[in-house]
Structure 1
Amino acid sequence: MQKLKKIVAEFYQRYEGDPILVQSPGRVNLIGEHTDYNDGFVLPAAIDKHIFLALAENESNRGRFYAIDPGETFEADISGQLSKSGKGWPDYLLGVVDQLRRHGYDPGGFDCVFGGNIPIGAGLSSSAALEGGMLFGLSRLFEWEIPPVEMAKMAQKAENDFVGVQCGIMDQFVSLNGKKDHAMKLDCRSLEYEFYPLKRRDIHIVLCDTRIRRELASSEYNVRRSQCEEGVRILQQHEPGINSLREVSPELLNRHGQKMDPVVFKRCTYILEENKRVQDACRDLEENDIHAFGQRMYASHTGLRDQYEVSCAELDILVDAARTIDGVLGARMMGGGFGGCTINLVEDRYLDSFKERISQRYQKITGQPIAIYQAKISAGTQLVDLPKAKTDKEL
């Protein structure tokens, strides 16, 4: 891969020593949206779009970073109190170093060159891949034994506490721990996880990006979260032991739902139904019933549109179009909502016609183009072999 070769060549040009090379994947979430902060279930998968990092120790107390894609460098003393860079991208790396030190790990100076092929801003979690890749790489470089669950928690905290983005743990968890050709069912309460095979090798995951980025997503995210919490508070009056919607049965919700604002009741209903959809979807994968799985994806989108109300016209256009195109097994919006991507399961033999037809349909209705990305399910973060050559000419 040219990107990987360029990263290695840049490292040898800028720094000394032989680096280790880390490959850290982006992710998709097949089903289970907005369930994470309700202690529910999600079903993500790592994909074959990656951040690559070349890392080596240096004989100093400094972290020296080079980002291939913006072509920028950053350097900082990492032996003392760390502060934000003012540049954005270095904070994801500094945040990892900060978390390591808070957990008793003391990295010495190191050099890092990184870049990748994860589309930025498409909801494929390039930031989580970068954080997880840096954490995994440093643990290997300095020979620390950090359990996988702890590593995911540290990567999440790096983004929460240092970068300042209040993300959940799903992205970092599956990026670090994903398995090739398998989706991961993650229990967001216990952080227990298990894998379910996607046995159909003739299927591509296709992301259709509306290219719409709406500020409404962050503010409405907080509103949805507070509405779910309000539903829990009302139910706690009848069942004091309840701490989240994860612990609420449909019978309990229906019995006391009339005491809620109708909107709050709708939000809670969606969460309960989506958690069940995730569990049913796992059974579909076990039984290799990909058609049933796809129907649950469509049902998830309907719930997100009508009950949770986080979709938008552009996302609905893409899902409605996907329903009518040959070879599409399932589709739904993915992510926080109000823009971003739909995720589609498409049979390989229909891949080209799907991309052409959905692009034409969207352009005809909205007057705007979409971006399309295709992926396969891959393994989680891992070391990869270094190319033997050390210069661009040799590579």
Structure 2
Amino acid sequence: MLAELILAAFQDRFQHPPLLVRAPGRINLIGEHTDYNGGFVLPAAINREIIFAVGLTAGTTVRLFAYDNQETYTTDVRELAPGPTHWANYLLGVAAQFQRRGLPLQGFDCVFGGNIPMGAGMSSSAAVECGLAFALDTLLATRLDRLELARFGQKAEHEYAGVQCGIMDQFASLFGRAGHVVRLDCRSLDYAYFPFDAEAYYVVLCNSGVKHSLASSEYNTRRRECEQGVTVLQQYYPEVHSLRDATLEQLEKHQVELGEVVYRRCRYVVEENLRVERACQHLLAHDLPAFGKEMYASHAGLRDQYEVSCPELDILVELARPLPGVVGARMMGGGFGGCTINLVAANAVEEFVAAMLPAYEKQTGIALETYQTTIVDGVGALSPVAVS
């Protein structure tokens, strides 16, 4: 058991009792590239996780141990700053947020390790940030609410890791609820839970095994194109502050002025927000096949309008579509690689995986990895008694 290994590693290294914390990764069922446009997303915490063992010390030394790659990093709480050790920056950035708030921070020891695949779009970095934020909040008795801890994680990623992420990943890791997905309004940060029938349908991820180099540059381009669309619409509709406020009718009326490319980008975002809203109604009606149709439509929009898919992701979706028990599939994440997310009837999962593995390798020459996920609670403490 992972928690046992992390606990043993902490006790061997530091010889004092730690707090054990579990921080899950996340999936996003629908609502892609809507977050930075003030829209809606529909993530859930999953049973891929980072386990932390953290204990306070009397001095000012911070000792970190990354169990998975057996690396150490040591610094002083009075000298926190980004450094050349990439994995440590996520943790140091979180610790720095406590100091920014004027909260007392003392030395601490930390061992962490997990089973979230790197680069697969399950937000291992957010789990690392949120797990340490929760642990320090608990140990220091600072009593911050979960939204504040999510912001700590987001700011750590901005300032120490140099990634200008939204807040969805940290939010999902902290606010996850077993058997539910959470609809997050990325503008107001209002949220609501919707039931997900995890007995009837499983969420299976298929890792394309690729990450194309244009992902980051195209991401920035898409953001600019959306902003250009808003600038055009604001001339006629001052109430449009982001694409969240725009309607399909407004886009169609000004299609020529927007230009073909910007029009397609904006239309995708407006339609994707509508898909998230419809998807939530399908969940309330326990209609997962209807939910799956929204996923297929989302992928088509990401492929044809937003143009952030890639051949490998498209192949995965088309291979999944005719298989028994599959009701929905789409790319998940920023695009140009990573995973597809597939909604598969529980009794068809084994057959689905058995069919996908050879078919994908035959078409691409890439060995396919699949991950069957369960929707779980967000970040929380584990009792050392339970794993000793």
Runs of 5+ consecutive residues of structure 2 not aligned to the other structure: none
> 1:235 aligns to what SS in structure 2?
helix
TM-score by length of 1: 0.96
Structure 2 match to 1:192: 190
Distance 2:16 2:358 in 1: 51
Q: Which runs of 4+ in 1 moved over 6 A?
A: none
Are the equivalent residues in 2 in contact too, given 1:249–1:272 (CA < 8 A)?
Answer: yes
Instruction: For 1:61, give the aligned amino acid.
Output: T
Alignment RMSD, CA only? 1.1
Structure 2 match to 1:48: 47
Instruction: For 1:190, give the aligned amino acid.
Output: S
Are the equivalent residues in 2 in contact too, given 1:187–1:193 (CA < 8 A)?
Answer: yes
Structure 1 match to 2:354: 356
**Which of 319, 322, 326 is residue 321 of structure 1 equivalent to?**
319
For residues 273-325 of structure 1, the C-alpha deviation after alignment (integer angstroms, 9 at most, x for no partner) is 00000000000001100000000000000000010011111101100111111
Distance 2:198 2:10 in 1: 39
For residues 130-179 of structure 1, the C-alpha deviation after alignment (integer angstroms, 9 at most, x for no partner) is 00000001000111111221111111010011111111110000101110
TM-score by length of 2: 0.98
Query: Which stretch of structure 1 is more off in the superposition, 296-305 or 244-253?
Result: 244-253
Structure 1 match to 2:94: 96
Deviation at 1:269, TM superposition (A): 0.4
Structure 1 match to 2:30: 31
Deviation at 1:81, TM superposition (A): 3.5
> 1:340 aligns to what SS in structure 2?
strand
Structure 2 match to 1:310: 308
Deviation at 1:85, TM superposition (A): 2.9
Deviation at 1:372, TM superposition (A): 1.0
Runs of 5+ consecutive residues of structure 1 not aligned to the other structure: 390-394
Structure 2 match to 1:132: 130
Deviation at 1:253, TM superposition (A): 1.5
Distance 2:242 2:139 in 1: 40
Instruction: For 1:40, give the aligned amino acid.
Output: G
**Which of 144, 147, 159 is residue 142 of structure 2 equivalent to?**
144
Deviation at 1:195, TM superposition (A): 0.4
Are the equivalent residues in 2 in contact too, given 1:322–1:331 (CA < 8 A)?
Answer: yes
- Mapping of 1:1-395 within 5 angstroms? 1=1, 3-78=2-77, 80-387=78-385
For residues 26-68 of structure 1, the C-alpha deviation after alignment (integer angstroms, 9 at most, x for no partner) is 0000000000000000000000111000111111101111111
Distance 1:94 1:355 in 2: 39
Distance 1:12 1:151 in 2: 27
Distance 1:109 1:367 in 2: 49
Distance 2:40 2:314 in 1: 24
Taking only the aligned residue pairs, the percentage that are identical comes to 50
Distance 1:251 1:106 in 2: 53
Distance 1:386 1:215 in 2: 43
Distance 1:245 1:388 in 2: 48
Distance 1:298 1:330 in 2: 6
Distance 1:388 1:301 in 2: 42
Query: Which stretch of structure 1 is more off in the superposition, 345-354 or 137-146?
Result: 345-354
Deviation at 1:200, TM superposition (A): 4.2
For residues 104-151 of structure 1, the C-alpha deviation after alignment (integer angstroms, 9 at most, x for no partner) is 222111111110111111110000000000000100011111122111
Are the equivalent residues in 2 in contact too, given 1:40–1:188 (CA < 8 A)?
Answer: yes
Deviation at 1:388, TM superposition (A): 6.5
Instruction: For 1:70, give the aligned amino acid.
Output: N
Distance 2:69 2:22 in 1: 19
Distance 1:212 1:101 in 2: 39
Are the equivalent residues in 2 in contact too, given 1:57–1:111 (CA < 8 A)?
Answer: yes
Instruction: For 2:233, give the aligned amino acid.
Output: L
Are the equivalent residues in 2 in contact too, given 1:148–1:177 (CA < 8 A)?
Answer: yes
Are the equivalent residues in 1 in contact too, given 2:198–2:374 (CA < 8 A)?
Answer: no
Instruction: For 1:285, give the aligned amino acid.
Output: L
Are the equivalent residues in 2 in contact too, given 1:205–1:376 (CA < 8 A)?
Answer: yes
Distance 2:80 2:381 in 1: 27
Structure 2 match to 1:392: none
> 1:84 aligns to what SS in structure 2?
coil
Deviation at 1:240, TM superposition (A): 2.1
> 2:225 aligns to what SS in structure 1?
helix
Distance 1:287 1:104 in 2: 47
> 2:65 aligns to what SS in structure 1?
strand
What is the number of residues matched between the two proteins? 388
Instruction: For 1:320, give the aligned amino acid.
Output: E
Distance 1:22 1:344 in 2: 29
Distance 2:361 2:95 in 1: 45
Instruction: For 1:71, give the aligned amino acid.
Output: Q
> 2:59 aligns to what SS in structure 1?
coil
> 2:220 aligns to what SS in structure 1?
helix
Distance 1:88 1:202 in 2: 40
Are the equivalent residues in 2 in contact too, given 1:5–1:387 (CA < 8 A)?
Answer: no
> 1:359 aligns to what SS in structure 2?
helix
> 1:311 aligns to what SS in structure 2?
coil
Deviation at 1:348, TM superposition (A): 2.0
Are the equivalent residues in 1 in contact too, given 2:209–2:366 (CA < 8 A)?
Answer: no
